[in-house]
Amino acid sequence: MSDCLEVRRFDASIEAVLDAVAAQLSQARSALFITGAGISADSGLPTYRGVGGLYDSAATEDGLRIEEALSGEVFSVRPDITWKYLVQIEENCRGAQPNAAHRAIACLDDHLDRVMVFTQNVDGLHRAAGSREIIEIHGNLQELKCTACRHEEVAADFAGRAIPPRCPACGGILRPKVVLFGEMLPEAPLERFIGALQDGFDIVFSIGTSSVFPYITQPVVFAGGSGIPTVEINPSRTQLSDIVDFYLPLGAAVAMTAILERLGLDCP
């Protein structure tokens, strides 16, 4: 890897789990990676909450929980409030580059028959890393659409824009093509994901997600119940930690680098 992490020494129990995960992956022809905000932490992006979170306090300066401020309900009546926090998130994502974990997953595209990434993240880093089959179930922050007409555009960043931004075609309010809190997941990507699960994978990873949503946990639970090896990579324990076959209490970049080293893969 171009910016390989320093070789790490782990205790014997973690070394054994890394060896076991690498052994399982070496036998796999397909892999599913379910990822959350934690995989982007080594790219300098904060999670919403928790250690290093962008919104650690109970309420934002507007007196709302961040989940309320970033909800479809608030956007419908106060788009300026929702956009205020969308801009803060975009500013924290601006200039971020894929890290070793993103690149490791993309690298596996060249060594397995199928690698699917199912991500909660809206930062586009899996795309930038070169992964080929990605479902961004919460959308992408850089893709905008008008709420009043069919205008769509791509925004590299939100710098210099009026808040809320207006449509250049009709003057309506623009919004990112992301799923706000309280909104339904998009049907087409979800159906595509369900179809992929039905086709089956040889190994399933959950990386850097707090695993609070059923559509994140259920695929892992289903895979484990079907005899498919399951792996969780997360410094913090979640409800999946005692369910998966292999739990690695490590950061995503460190863990994925160690796994690929065991496979003898040197990815750019």
Residues with a known catalytic role: 138
The separation between the first and the last C-alpha atoms of the chain, rounded to the nearest angstrom, is 4
Cα distance between residue 152 and residue 139, in whole Å = 14
Q: Comparing C-alpha atoms, which of 41, 14, 27, 30 is closest to residue 197?
A: 30
- Residue 159 in tokens: 């710098």
Residue given tokens 């200039």 in the structure block: 95
Q: Cα 133 to the chain's mean position, in Å?
A: 14
Alpha carbons 240 and 245: distance in angstroms, whole number: 10
Q: How many CA atoms lie within 13 A of 119 on its CB side?
A: 25
Residues 6+ apart with CB under 8 A from 17: 246, 247, 248
Q: Other CB atoms closer than 10 Å to residue 170's CB: what's the count? A: 12
The upper half-sphere exposure of residue 258, i.e. CA atoms within 13 Å in the direction of its Cβ, equals 21
